């Protein structure tokens, strides 16, 4: 799959009649046909943003100026990325030279941080990003989250025809702002329904179908033969992923007046952030082709409180149990997408499942977001686990180990990659310390992989055993980037049984198919421009992509158990 494509320079152009910028590339049959016989992955080619260091500094909201500075949003196709063979968990001296691939065990895809966004909500946090600073608060990509998600699903369906997936999983942040309409768009895209990515008054910035971010479109839907499962993220039950809203803030969601709060991102943190006032957070005027921001800035600048065009009850914010309950209103499989009625009744958002009845692999879906009542409240973006969640996880790991099953943990927030004082690090309110938590994980040699999202980065982190005589106690942690922010990717994972009693986990980044001059292609242009403007530091520059073969030692018991499992590979 190491096809090398000549570099194509993609230059944005301006369609005057629509006042919309598109990223136009040379026509390519595989890109133009999402249902073609082949999809290019980052094994074949990568996307490299243009260098803007010599160009004038641009504010994120100055979308109308992008065409005057064509490096913004411009990108090239770079070379593909081979699998980096990682032996970090293996004994000293192991080099894999005698290993051959024996059998395919399982193949699945992972998506995360799709951030379905109602850009017209009166309860946004745009103020913190429209002039830079916090990319999660605002960037122009928020106009196209539904279209990009649909493009990702179409790409997954095409890959499925080449190498069928056994299941798919999302690692959270389906919603951007815990809203009912955002969650419905997310589920309905996966179900293949008609999507109207609009709220309040039905807007049409450019008359005609399929030519602006507010237009109705038909989602393809995930192939019905692929079951998909859901993990909860912090944006799924907190205001913009940062804070649990109070009753007054929940009222703002379904009203007309734009949210008025203080600078909730400022140190020291306000213990009652939604009781402070002083700044209107802003919203998008959905009648404007470029999604112009309205009602943003200091309260003193507004003689009367700014409003959105219309209130909408479908913008209501969801409690955990309400969020879970929506996954039962679906036409794709399985109903509930991992959550049971017991999960809803108990307001408990973790569960486990076994993707193949004839294969000893277990997936543990862990909600490691903070509880709404967590006293460690300088933003609720930390990884955390309470006593009930910890005891449940230990029970699931003990059961999986005793039953001789390889185990994968899916959570929204990764562990062991950030210091505790980081805004996304381990919460000091967790039931156990992070070091003790990871030490406990190292007592389960059948734990092979932890997958996560949250940080919008692609990163592979080895979690090696602390006992050199038992390398099988280590596991791999793989983070996957957001579908919203550049590089807008998902991952595929294929687990292979090797001839030398090890397994290999092949982790591959995939760019969604985005047809020339389509709305998803426009989103990619905006995503590249946002990355250039915000200059978010991420691993594996300049493409921020990484493909790896992750080798893991198995216990003698698991070596014996799985030696006859899988689809044989002819070497």
Cα separation, 571 vs 564, whole angstroms: 17
For 218, phi then psi, to 5°, come to -95, 115
Q: State the number of CA atoms in the 13 A half-sphere of 463 facing the CB.
A: 27
Q: Which residues are CB-contacts of 221 (< 8 A; sequence separation ≥ 6)?
A: 153, 189, 190, 191, 192, 193, 332
Three-class SS of 484-546: CCCCCCEEEEEEEEECCCEEEEEEEEECCCCCCCCHHHHHHHHHHHHHHHHCCCCCCCCCCCC
Q: Which residues are CB-contacts of 527 (< 8 A; sequence separation ≥ 6)?
A: 139, 141, 484, 485, 486, 487, 488
The pair of structure tokens assigned to 168 is: 């798919």
Residues paired with 108 in a beta bridge: 167, 493
Is the domain defined by 9-93+109-200+213-288+311-568 classed in CATH 3.20.20.140? no
Beta strands in 257-344 (DSSP E): 260-261, 279-284, 293-298
Cα separation, 411 vs 364, whole angstroms: 9
Helices (H) and strands (E) in the chain, counts: 10, 23
Cβ contact 257:277 at 8 Å: no
Q: Which residues are CB-contacts of 173 (< 8 A; sequence separation ≥ 6)?
A: 112, 113, 114, 115, 233, 234, 235, 236, 241, 412, 453, 454, 482
- Domain edges within the chain: 9-93+109-200+213-288+311-568
Cβ contact 307:257 at 8 Å: yes
What is the model's pLDDT at position 270? Answer: 76
Pairing status of strand 361-366 against strand 351-353: antiparallel
- What are the start-end ranges of the H helices in 285-433? 320-325, 341-346, 387-402
Q: How far is CA 158 from CA 49, 172, 513, in A?
A: 26, 23, 10
What is the model's pLDDT at position 271? Answer: 74
Nearest to 99 by CA among 548, 507, 552, 464: 552
Nearest to 266 by CA among 390, 164, 358, 128: 128
What is the model's pLDDT at position 376? Answer: 66
Share above pLDDT 90 across residues of the chain, in percent, rounded to a whole number: 85
Each residue of 301-346: pLDDT tens digit?
Answer: 999 999 999 999 999 999 999 999 999 999 999 999 999 999 999 9
Cα three-residue angle 365-371-377, rounded to 5 degrees: 130
SS3 state at 181: helix
Say what the alpha-carbon torsion angle 170, 108, 528, 418 is, to the nearest 10 degrees: 60
Cβ contact 176:192 at 8 Å: no
What letter would DSSP give residue 269?
Answer: P
For 497, phi then psi, to 5°, come to -90, 130
Give the Cβ contact number of residue 358 at 10 Å. Answer: 6
Listed as ranges, residues in the chain with pLDDT below 50 are: 1-37
Nearest to 462 by CA among 482, 448, 452, 446: 448
Q: Is 514 exposed, middle or buried, given 0-12, 13-18 or 19+ CB atoms closer than 10 A?
A: buried
DSSP 234-258: GGGTSBTTTB---HHHHHHHTSSBP
The pair of structure tokens assigned to 438 is: 């990871």
What is the model's pLDDT at position 570? Answer: 82
Q: What is the pTM of this model?
A: 0.93
The pair of structure tokens assigned to 179 is: 């809203």
């Amino acid at each position: 799959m190491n096809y090398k494509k000549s570099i194509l320079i993609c230059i944005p152009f301006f369609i005057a009649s629509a006042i919309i910028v598109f990223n136009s590339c040379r026509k390519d049959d595989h890109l133009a046909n999402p249902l073609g016989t082949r999809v290019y992955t980052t094994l074949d080619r990568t996307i490299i943003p243009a260098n803007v260091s010599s160009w004038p500094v641009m504010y994120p909201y100055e979308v109308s100026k992008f065409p005057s500075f064509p490096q913004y949003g411009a990108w090239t196709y770079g070379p593909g990325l081979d699998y980096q063979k990682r032996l970090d968990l293996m004994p000293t001296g192991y080099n894999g030279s005698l290993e051959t691939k024996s059998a395919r065990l399982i193949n699945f895809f992972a998506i995360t941080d799709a951030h379905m966004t109602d850009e017209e909500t009166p309860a946004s946090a745009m103020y913190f990003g429209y002039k830079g600073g916090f990319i999660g608060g605002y960037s122009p990509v928020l106009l196209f989250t539904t279209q990009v998600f649909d493009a990702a699903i179409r790409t997954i369906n095409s890959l499925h025809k080449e190498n069928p997936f056994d299941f798919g999983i999302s690692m959270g942040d389906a919603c951007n702002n815990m809203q009912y309409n955002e969650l419905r768009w997310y589920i309905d895209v996966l179900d293949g329904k008609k999507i109207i990515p609009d709220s309040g008054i039905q807007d049409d910035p450019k008359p005609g179908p399929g030519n602006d971010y507010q237009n109705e479109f038909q989602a393809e839907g995930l192939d019905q033969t692929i079951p998909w499962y859901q993990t909860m993220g912090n944006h799924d039950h907190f205001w913009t992923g940062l804070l649990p809203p109070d009753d007054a803030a929940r009222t703002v969601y379904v009203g007309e007046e734009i949210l008025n709060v203080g600078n909730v991102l400022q140190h020291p943190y306000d213990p009652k952030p939604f009781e402070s006032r002083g700044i209107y957070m802003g919203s998008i005027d959905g009648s404007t082709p470029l999604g112009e921001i309205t009602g943003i800035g200091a309260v003193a600048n507004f003689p009367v409180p700014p409003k959105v065009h219309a209130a909408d009850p479908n913008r209501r914010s969801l409690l955990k149990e309400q969020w879970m309950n929506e996954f039962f209103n679906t036409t794709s499989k399985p109903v509930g997408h991992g959550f049971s009625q017991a999960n809803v009744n108990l307001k408990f958002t973790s569960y486990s499942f076994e993707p193949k009845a004839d294969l000893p692999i277990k997936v543990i879906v862990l909600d490691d977001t903070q509880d709404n009542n967590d006293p460690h409240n300088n933003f609720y973006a930390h990884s955390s686990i309470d006593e009930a969640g910890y005891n449940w996880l230990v029970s699931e790991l003990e059961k999986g180990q005793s039953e001789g099953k390889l185990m994968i943990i899916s959570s929204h927030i990764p562990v062991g990659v950030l210091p505790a004082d980081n805004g996304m690090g381990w919460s000091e309110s967790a039931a156990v310390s992070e070091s003790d938590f990871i030490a406990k994980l190292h007592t389960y040699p059948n734990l092979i992989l932890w997958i996560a999202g949250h940080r919008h980065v692609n990163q592979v982190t080895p979690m090696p055993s602390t006992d050199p005589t038992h390398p099988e106690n280590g596991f791999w942690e793989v983070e996957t980037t957001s579908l919203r922010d550049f590089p807008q990717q998902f991952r595929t994972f294929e687990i292979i049984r090797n001839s030398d009693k090890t397994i290999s986990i092949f982790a591959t980044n995939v760019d969604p198919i985005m047809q020339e001059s389509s709305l998803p292609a426009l989103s990619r242009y905006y995503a590249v421009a946002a990355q250039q403007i915000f200059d978010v530091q991420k691993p594996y520059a300049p493409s921020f992509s990484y493909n790896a073969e992750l080798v893991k030692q198995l216990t003698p018991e698991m070596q014996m158990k799985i030696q006859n499992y899988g689809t044989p590979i002819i070497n």
